[in-house]
Amino acid sequence: MNDYNPFPQDLSSLHDKISDNPFKNYTIRDYQEIGKKYDLFLSEASVAYQKGKSVLHNISLFLKPGEILGLIGGSGAGKSTCMRVMTGQIKPPQLTHGFAVTAGYRAVRDNLKLIHQIGYVPQLEYLSLYEQFSALDNCLFFGRNYCISKKQILKRAREILGILGFENEELLNKPVKYLSGGERKRVSIAVGLINTPKVLFLDEPTTGLDPHLRIGVLNFLLKINKEFNTTMVIVSHDLEIADYCTKVAILNFGELAGFGKPKDLVESLPSHGKMLNIHLKSYNSRIHLRKIKEIAGIRYVLNAGRNQIKLFSDEIENLNLIISQLREIGLEIEHFSLDQAVFLEYFRIKGKHIEGV
C-alpha cells in the first residue's frame, strides 16, 4: 500500500472527527470547508453489497479544482464502485464507512444539488446519445434537463464541440449514427459538459478506440480541462492516461495500491525509480527468480520479455556487486543498462504484481 495521510495538512484537524459513523461527526461547516478547497474529497470509503463482503476498503482521495484524476485498475478492481461513491449513487447501508464531498456538496445528503454540478460520460455512447439526432440536437436535448435556455445550450455546445474538433456545420448537424467512433465519443463528452459541470466523470473514454483515436480523445480532454478548468475523473484500465493526469489512483481488489502524482509514484520506488535492465543469455523464472530475490537489496523483479529482467534495488548504484552476484547464481549476462522506470513499471509492481511476471 502507498503510505500517505489522506487528509491534506490544511484539513488535518478534521481527521480527528472520523469514527465508525462519520456522517454524525462532521458539521455542515466542516463539509463546506472541504468543498471550498477540493472539488473531490473521498474519505475512508468502504462499500459492502453483501454483509461481510467488502468490495471497497478505506479509500481516500482528494482533488483540487482543475486537476485530473486517473482511476486505474483491472476488471473488478473497484473503479466503478469508487466512482459511484463519489457521485452519491451508493448510500448507507452499502456505504459502510466514510463519505464523499464532490463539487462542494455531500455526495449522499446533497445529491439532488450535486447532480447539477457534475457531468458523466459513459463507456458506451449509445447509453448517452440518440443516434438519429445530430451532435447539436443531442446537446440540446440533454441540456434542457438542466433548465438551460436553448440559446445558452447551443452557444455552449458550439463552443465545446469546436474545441473537440467539430469545425463545420456539416459535422455539427450530421446524425450521430453516421459519425466515426472517435467523433461519437467526442459528442458524448460534449453532452457531459453541457451543464458546465465542476467535475466531469468519464468511464473508460478510450475503450474500443484505435491507438491514434485514444490519444486524440485524451488530447481533447486536456484542451477542455485547460479551457474551462474542469476537474475530471477518468476511469480506465489504459495506463497511457497517466501521462494526461495530475494524479492517479491505482485500485487493486478494492484497495488503494497507490495515489499521487505519476512522477512522484515512480520515484517512490527503490532508488528513486532507477532500475537495472538486464538481457540474459537464458532465463527461467521458476529456477532463477527465488535465487535473485535472495540477493541482498533486491526488492522487485519484473520480466521484461524473452530472457530480459528488470531489477529494483535499494542499492542499485552498486552495479558491480549486483552483477557479480547474478553471475554467481549461474546467470550469463549479455548486456545491461541503468534506466529510469516509467509508470508502467510502477503499476506492475504496485497494481497487481505477480512475482516473476
Pairing of strands 308-313, 247-252: unpaired
Assign residue 213 a region: left if phi > 0, alpha if psi is -120 to 50, beta otherwise? alpha
Q: Measured between alpha carbons, how far is 239 from 24 in angstroms, rounded to an integer?
A: 38
Say what the pLDDT of residue 212 is.
Answer: 83
Q: What is the mean pLDDT of residues 132-146?
A: 93
Q: What is the mean pLDDT of residues 95-113?
A: 93
Q: Measured between alpha carbons, how far is 2 from 97 in angstroms, rounded to an integer?
A: 20
For the domain bounded by 270-340, which CATH number is listed? 3.30.70.100
- 71 vs 24, which has greater pLDDT? 71
Decide: helix, strand or coil at residue 243. Answer: helix
Say what the pLDDT of residue 11 is.
Answer: 56
Q: What is the mean pLDDT of residues 91-95?
A: 92
> Is 331's pLDDT higher than 50?
yes
- CATH topology identical between 65-86+107-266 and 270-340: no
Please choose, from the candidates 283, 222, 264, 279, the residue with its C-alpha nearest in 3D space to the C-alpha of residue 350: 264
Residues 193, 217, 235: CA angle, nearest 5 degrees: 70
pLDDT averaged over every residue in the chain: 87
In this structure, how many other beta carbons lie within 10 angstroms of the beta carbon of residue 256?
A: 25
DSSP assigned state of 113: H
Give the CA dihedral 120, 123, 129, 130, nearest 10 degrees. Answer: -150
For the domain bounded by 65-86+107-266, which CATH number is listed? 3.40.50.300
Say what the pLDDT of residue 3 is.
Answer: 42
Using the structure block, give the residue that is written with the C-alpha cell 484524476: 69
Do residues 155 and 149 touch, judged by C-beta distance below 8 A? no
Q: What is the mean pLDDT of residues 156-177?
A: 92
Domain locations in the chain as residue ranges: 65-86+107-266, 270-340
Using the structure block, give the residue that is written with the C-alpha cell 490519444: 215
For residue 312, what are the contacts with CB-CB under 8 A and spacing of at least 6?
269, 270, 271, 275, 276, 298, 299, 300, 301, 302, 341, 349
Specify the amino acid at residue 132: Q
Please choose, from the candidates 65, 61, 63, 105, the residue with its C-alpha nearest in 3D space to the C-alpha of residue 82: 61
Q: Measured between alpha carbons, how far is 112 from 117 in angstroms, rounded to an integer?
A: 10
Q: Which three cell numbers stand for residue 132?
A: 438519429
Q: How confident is the model at residue 342 (pLDDT cuts 50, 70, 90)?
A: very high
Q: Measured between alpha carbons, how far is 131 from 124 in angstroms, rounded to an integer?
A: 12
Q: What is the mean pLDDT of residues 55-77?
A: 92
Q: Measured between alpha carbons, how far is 188 from 127 in angstroms, rounded to an integer?
A: 9
Say what the pLDDT of residue 216 is.
Answer: 87
Say what the pLDDT of residue 19 is.
Answer: 40
Q: How confident is the model at residue 52 (pLDDT cuts 50, 70, 90)?
A: confident
Q: How confident is the model at residue 295 (pLDDT cuts 50, 70, 90)?
A: confident
Q: Measured between alpha carbons, how far is 71 from 45 in angstroms, rounded to an integer?
A: 15
pLDDT tens digit sequence for 234-249: 999 888 899 999 999 9
Specify the amino acid at residue 96: T
Angle in degrees, 0-180, between the axes of helices 211-228 and 150-163, rounded to the nearest 10: 130
Please choose, from the candidates 103, 73, 66, 75, the residue with its C-alpha nearest in 3D space to the C-alpha of residue 88: 103
Say what the pLDDT of residue 21 is.
Answer: 43
pLDDT tens digit sequence for 204-229: 888 777 888 888 889 999 999 999 99
Decide: helix, strand or coil at residue 224. Answer: helix
